Amino acid sequence: MLKNLLVSLAILTTSVAYAGQAVVLDVQAALQSSNAAEAFRADLVKSTSQQESQVRDLETQAKKMQSDFALNKGLLTQEQIQQKDLQFKKVYGEYQRQLQALQQQRAAMEKEFLEGMRPKLDQVIKALIDEGDISLIINRQSAIYVEPRIDITGEIIKRLNAQE
C-alpha cells in the first residue's frame, strides 16, 4: 500500500513538473471592458432611448397621480377615489408592461452581443494558450488571492481590442 502511494505521488509530482503555466482570467471583465462592449453599450442606449424615455414618463405620471391622490383623498367622493385608483392602476400597469418589455429587449441584445463576442474571446484565449504554454486557466472569481502577474485579463482585453 505504501508502495502504491509513493508511485502515485511520484506520478503526480512528475506531471506537475511538466505542466504549463496556471493563470487567471476574469471573463466578464474582459468582455465588458473591450472596445466592442463600450460601442455596444453606446448603441444599446441610443437604440432604446425613446422607449426608456416613455417608461420614465409613465413612472413620473404614476408617481404624480399617487401623490395628488394622497393630497386630495379627503376632498374626493368615494366614486372619485375609485376613478382615480382605476386611472392610477392603468398607468402603473402600462409602466410595468413597458419597463418589462424594455428590460427584455436589452437582455436579448446583450445576449446576442455576448454570443457574437464568445468566438472572438475563445480565439484570443486559444492563441494565448499556444503562445504562453498555459495549461490551466482559473476563473478570477473562483480565486481567493491572485498574484497580479498571472492575471491575463488585461492581455485578453488588449488582444480583443486589436481584433477590431
Residue 75: the pLDDT is 85
SS (H, E, C) 96-151: HHHHHHHHHHHHHHHHHHHHHHHHHHHHHHHHHHHHHCEEEEEEHHHCCCCCHHHE
pLDDT tens string 104-128: 999 999 999 999 999 999 999 999 9
Number of H helices, E strands in the chain: 5, 2
3 state SS of 6? helix
Residue 19: the pLDDT is 54
Domain ranges, ordered by start, for the chain = 19-163
pLDDT tens string 71-83: 887 888 889 888 9
pTM over 0.85: no
Quick check: 149 pLDDT over 70?
Answer: yes
Q: Which residues contact 91 (CB under 8 A, 6 or more apart)?
A: 58, 61, 62, 65
Per the model's pLDDT, the better-predicted residue between 17 and 120 turns out to be: 120
Beta bridge partners of 21: 134
Quick check: 11 pLDDT over 60?
Answer: no
